Structure 1
Amino acid sequence: MNDITLLTSPTRDRQTIEATYLDAIVRDDVFAAGAFQMALPKLWTVDTFGADNMPSGEKPVIELARARPGVPDAFGATHDAIVQVWSAKLPRVMNGSDWLWRWAATQGYVIHALRELPTKNGIMGDAVLTSEKTGRLHRMVTMKDGDLIFLVDGSVDPRGAPQDPNLQEIALLAAMRFKLLSPSGTRYAEPMSEETVTSTLGQIGFFLPQSWNRQTAGEAPEQGAVSSYVTKLGDAVAGTLVVALGGYDTTAQQLEDTLIAKLENQGQNFGPATKTLEADKQGYRFSTWRREGTVSGQGDVQLLTMRGSFDGLPVSIAMLTAVPQTAFESYAVNRRVFEIVVESHAIGLL
């Protein structure tokens, strides 16, 4: 079933879609922040599980609501269609796409196709999957609000034809028209602090979760400055962030090379850099890169870096993290923290 593709827009015409679906408002018997609206076929019913049913540290994932055909001839009934809405509490920042990948792996789903959807709250996941336990075809999409992930999970009995893209229509319409009725407006799952690194020539400011602590930094370049931050999982360091400003006679590439040389002296080895993004922020151009590496006797790591130059002032941001295959949660948190630092950073000359 590797040829199951992701349906990205309904195949039926707009008039037929509007005649088939309506927007259902779900406000009763759900916790206040979980009230939502989504498109469902007509003649469907929605079950909820009580206003005290909410995700928590002890129960991080809950089923918020379940919708299904209310009569035998309702649209989707022949394939036992269901739309479930789940809610999960995030203790740390994380992209919805990474959360979905992990959820699928732990619940026995096979991902056939997944796309990442950029939003102001991070990168969300949109995937078509099958269940190894039930054989059902699932279409899952994540949304995020503050420290909550919402998952729209529409599934059907494919009846031997999981490749039929129309089987994803109910889930796709539910996700496309899903919205929270009382969103918090909070972008991040953790409290943030505004950090600054200042040199004799300039300053960089950025947001960083308060779960990260500033450490004593190494020697700064001439006219420059460097700050280091770490986060821990228990007593072990789970991620390291290094932010550096250089002098006018250095480049961001040289700042990065200096860091890599220090890491290699500590027994770490890295391959060549692969560019992952090139961006322009009001005339300030920067790029992000990824390097795969190893730590002697410990396994694989990744180095995520950013190189920028503002009016000749070089800036380097680097995140050292585990790889997803060995420590997925640490990797997912660090990936999102790196994105937050990159998207929030601002530079000025002194």
Structure 2
Amino acid sequence: MDGNKSKRFLKNSFRFQLQSDSLPIGKTQLFRLYFQSNDDVFDMGFPFSGSFICVPIGTKQELKLLFILQLWYPLAHFEKGFQMNGSFVLKTPAFFAKQGMKTFLYSLFFVGISFFSGDILADDFTDGVQSYKNGQYQQALSSFEQGASRQDPRSEYALGILYQNGLVVKKDVERGLQLITRSANRGFARAQNYLGVMYYEGNGVEPNSDRAFEWYGKAAVQNYPDAEYNLGVMYALGKGTRQDFGEALKWLRKAAMHQLPEAQYGLGVMYARGLGVEKNPEQSAYWFGKAAKQGYLKAQNKMGVLYTEGTGVPRDEAKAFRWFTRAAEKGYAKAQYNLGILYENGKGTNADKTKAIGWFRKAAAQGNADAQKRLKTLKATS
């Protein structure tokens, strides 16, 4: 794989995934980055909650660790590295990278953003990235400020995020908004999408669906997957524009083809309900499955439901059990409840009332009403 080809691959393979408990934008963010060298894949992902603030990762030091993550990219080989859970614990303690690497790319993860650079260039932005990585936060701030003064949209965006989240500098949401808006006005797609989310959620600005739609559109036409998805959601909901399921389907499909799992899930919903397209249970199951295989918890639970019902796929309680288990073990309450039902009734697994109650309790602790009701019933009949 030559250098230019590898750079194109890496740029195209980045996925910023915004997972929501409902179809629209919000609530939980999931990053996934796929690196490939020949047939080997490096796969990592870690969940987030809240609006661009990592709730499970609580300390500023942990946020700073998140700010930058340098990944070495060998031309020859890359083994699976590590995965992060909400507790910020590495399942595997380190990268397994081979020696003798000739080139590398690094990825800057910064509370909801990513920048790609090929070979390191001597400019203010990359100097700022390197300084931040080395713990030289004031030097990083200075570099980003210099870059912003030279109208570099990457630096403006990075500096804006620092102000938005109170990292290195005193939190100043208004200043952050100004910088991010400048970057967006210069055509930086990530800033445009971020600004769209700010207006949609009312994060530092008055909620304004029209402005959100406008900014999503600017980023979407640059083939930015997150914005394609967000624009599709806006069309589906009729937010900031007329409701148009045909347009929603178009933009969700674009994002789904960019391997965005929430868009794949959204396509599954469209096919299941016949929104903008004829109902097609098989196509619906196909797209739910694509999202589920990427670790999208809602889709994993959905696949469990489909296999339980035999909708769009052959009925298979053993497969339903496996999908529910995958989502339940990662804390998805609906899957925990569904898994409890399978254990209670001995479907797809041996009946085990103790395990059933255990999963009902986990789901109930998260506020799942069905699990709470089931526990009361079991208690009354025991």
Give the TM-score band, short-chain normalised.
under 0.3
Larger radius of gyration: 1
Structure that is richer in helix per residue: 2
The alignment's TM-score, normalised by the length of structure 1, stands at: 0.23
Q: When the two structures are superposed, what TM-score results if normalisation uses the length of structure 2?
A: 0.22
- Greater fraction of residues in strand: 1
